[in-house]
Chain A
Amino acid sequence: MKPIVETKNLSKWYGNVLGLSDVTLQIEPGITGILGPNGAGKSTFLKLITGQIKPNIGTVKIKGQKIWNNYRLFSIIGFCPEQDFFYEEITGWQFVTSLLKLHHFSESEVETRAQKALEIVELVEDKDRVIRSYSHGMRQRLKFAQAIAHDPEIIVLDEPLSGLDPLGRRKIIHLIKSYKGEGRTIIVSSHVLPEIEAMTKRIILIHQGKIFAQGDIHYIRDLIDTHPHIISIKCSNARQLASKFIQQDYVLKVHFSSSNDSLLIETNNRDKLFSLLPSLFIENKIEVDEITSPDDNLQAVFDYLVGK
């Protein structure tokens, strides 16, 4: 398949801060998830491929054409930025129609498309309210509406699910997946692995400004599953609980805190351990104050993958 987005040795830095370093990749039609912890360089990458900023080194090509100052390409690109900024004093309807006008559509087409986009994101009822009165979720959906209203071939979404409630999140995920079937290229960034997992199998992992891995999400999942997990339990009788854990072969290590009221358990089978917990607590009448998984986040996964 012919790549839609191509970058070659792409590097960007802001003063002394490295934003992105030597990124060479190709993105084909379909949904591609850009995954990385906060500050990894996801937004920089998306800004570069949408021509918002200039690369210091390297090139970005969209359908074989350079993107910087090539405004014609934006008739086929829709971009949903991460930042929560709008023309606050206008209504949602005015916002979408104004931006559609810039695509040189006729007046009637502008209205039809705006109506459709607002229907998709379920903002029709609130379209005549000024944007500054919108909730965070509504603003997020409005950003999405302006990105899809002109029916673009390439949709770039920077953290489109942030701030949405679970229902809104599901709707947007469903929507993004529905676009996949229409042969479009969708690039979506997130720092939440399950979010990306729900949308696509094809991911690009960015870490500290570099492409860390690219390919099928199952590969990453496998790595994560074999990654020893640490679970912290704060409870009434930590030592009694520990004696039960060490009998399990999937528990690798048990540590006690200095105050003896919590323990850290290292396991290579998190799911099995979690399913054991309720019965252990009930049988041994242990009062639990807190269960946390200190390394259950993307940063920890990255740290593990890079061998920190």
Chain B
Amino acid sequence: MTIKEKGYSHWDGEFIVKKFPWWPITRYGIKLTFMRKLFKFTLPMSLLPAVFFLTGIYISERLEDFPFLRGETSQFLQINPNYFKVYFTQGFMLFIMLMIVIFCGASLISDDLKHNSLQLYFSRPLKKKDYFLGKTAVIVFFLFIITLIPGLVFFIMKLVFSGSLKFFISYPWLPLSIIGYSFIVTGFFSFYALLLSSLSKNRRLVAILIFGIYMLSDIIYLIFRSEFRSHYFSLVSLRANLQQVGAHIFGQKTPYDIPWIFSFLVLLGICVFAGFVLKSKVKGVEVVK
């Protein structure tokens, strides 16, 4: 059969690239997370530590009104970078972040793998970079609600309650620390969650892996520390690494007797590894062997 005429014509229209092609992915991810009934309860609960710390800042400026809080508690009520470090790096806060990450991050890629929707994403003018950015922004959005925003609010409220710029003059770098650590902790958790989310189509399995690996790293550290009595084993623990880096960023003594940069490199290494895995795992077409 002779084909006399080609059945297609070259498209000569203008290719319009949207400025933020990742935004619809983020918006949908955020909307989907908010649709979960349990999350509507969890998110306000996760802000309780922030409310508690904010109350501390208020009381610190009104100690004369709370005479019974003087004495032992007065140390707690000294608002300095350590106060911020405690908020950001305490184990409970990291645990809350982990739970938030499970809520909003576990299904981010695994659901796309399960429903074969990656090819739908990549059949649009969307690059892999945009896809990852869109997914990461979902986690970043929720983690910023409990890290960056409360941190900055604490700082501003401290200035407002004290009615002077003395605190800012004493610690002008503190806002940068808050921003820096918020980016590090959310960046790490985003890569960590997306890495695990890309490994399985089973959302429940991903949720357990996100939680399990975090806990496991801590358990292994505890066992080795008790056996080898070396602080270097804290590098195994995700929690310890986040605390170590956090302490340095807030200009405090690091909890483990090892250079903080090692912890930072471990976290960075995990993110780089996650990047490589994500790049190879997230494909428009899946070849089934």
Measured between beta carbons, the chain A residues less than 8 angstroms from B10 are: none
How far is B165's CA from A46's CA once the two chains are assembled, in angstroms? 72
Tell me, yes or no, whether B18 is within 8 Å of chain A by CB.
no
How far is B116's CA from A132's CA once the two chains are assembled, in angstroms? 12
Interface majority SS (helix, strand, loop, mixed), chain B: loop
Least CB distance from A105 to B in Å reads 31
Tell me, yes or no, whether B288 is within 8 Å of chain A by CB.
yes
Which residues of chain B from 252 to 289 have any CB-CB distance to chain A below 8 Å in the complex? 288-289
Measured between beta carbons, the chain B residues less than 8 angstroms from A132 are: 288
Least CB distance from A276 to B in Å reads 27
Residue of B nearest to A133 (CB): B288
Residue of B nearest to A134 (CB): B288
Residue of B nearest to A132 (CB): B288
Least CB distance from A88 to B in Å reads 8
Measured between beta carbons, the chain A residues less than 8 angstroms from B289 are: 133
Which residues of chain B from 227 to 258 have any CB-CB distance to chain A below 8 Å in the complex? none
Least CB distance from B37 to A in Å reads 14
Least CB distance from A134 to B in Å reads 9
Interface majority SS (helix, strand, loop, mixed), chain A: helix
Q: Interface digits, A223-264 against B, CB 8 Å rule (1 contact, 0 not)?
A: 000000000000000000000000000000000000000000
Least CB distance from A128 to B in Å reads 14
Q: Interface digits, B62-106 against A, CB 8 Å rule (1 contact, 0 not)?
A: 000000000000000000000000000000000000000000000
Least CB distance from A142 to B in Å reads 15
How far is B201's CA from A132's CA once the two chains are assembled, in angstroms? 12
How far is B288's CA from A78's CA once the two chains are assembled, in angstroms? 30
Q: Interface digits, A56-88 against B, CB 8 Å rule (1 contact, 0 not)?
A: 000000000000000000000000000000000
Measured between beta carbons, the chain B residues less than 8 angstroms from A133 are: 288-289
Residue of B nearest to A129 (CB): B288
Which residues of chain A from 124 to 154 have any CB-CB distance to chain B below 8 Å in the complex? 132-133
Least CB distance from A208 to B in Å reads 27
Residue of A nearest to B286 (CB): A132
How far is B282's CA from A135's CA once the two chains are assembled, in angstroms? 21
Least CB distance from B122 to A in Å reads 20
Least CB distance from A290 to B in Å reads 15
How far is B288's CA from A133's CA once the two chains are assembled, in angstroms? 6
How far is B220's CA from A107's CA once the two chains are assembled, in angstroms? 47
Least CB distance from B247 to A in Å reads 45
Measured between beta carbons, the chain A residues less than 8 angstroms from B288 are: 132-133
How far is B289's CA from A132's CA once the two chains are assembled, in angstroms? 9
How far is B98's CA from A160's CA once the two chains are assembled, in angstroms? 44
Least CB distance from A115 to B in Å reads 25
Which residues of chain B from 197 to 234 have any CB-CB distance to chain A below 8 Å in the complex? none
Q: Interface digits, A97-134 against B, CB 8 Å rule (1 contact, 0 not)?
A: 00000000000000000000000000000000000110
Residue of A nearest to B114 (CB): A88
How far is B288's CA from A132's CA once the two chains are assembled, in angstroms? 7
Least CB distance from B233 to A in Å reads 37
Least CB distance from B80 to A in Å reads 53
Least CB distance from A20 to B in Å reads 27
How far is B72's CA from A177's CA once the two chains are assembled, in angstroms? 86
Residue of A nearest to B201 (CB): A88
Least CB distance from A15 to B in Å reads 14
Least CB distance from B283 to A in Å reads 16
Q: Interface digits, A269-292 against B, CB 8 Å rule (1 contact, 0 not)?
A: 000000000000000000000000
Least CB distance from A55 to B in Å reads 26
How far is B289's CA from A133's CA once the two chains are assembled, in angstroms? 7
Residue of A nearest to B287 (CB): A133
How far is B106's CA from A128's CA once the two chains are assembled, in angstroms? 33
Residue of B nearest to A130 (CB): B288
Interface set of A (CB-CB < 8 Å, partner B): 132-133
Interface set of B (CB-CB < 8 Å, partner A): 288-289
- List 3 A-B residue pairs with CB atoms under 8 Å apart, sorted by A's residue number: A132-B288, A133-B288, A133-B289
Ordered nearest first, which 3 A-B pairs have the shortest CB separation?
A133-B288, A132-B288, A133-B289
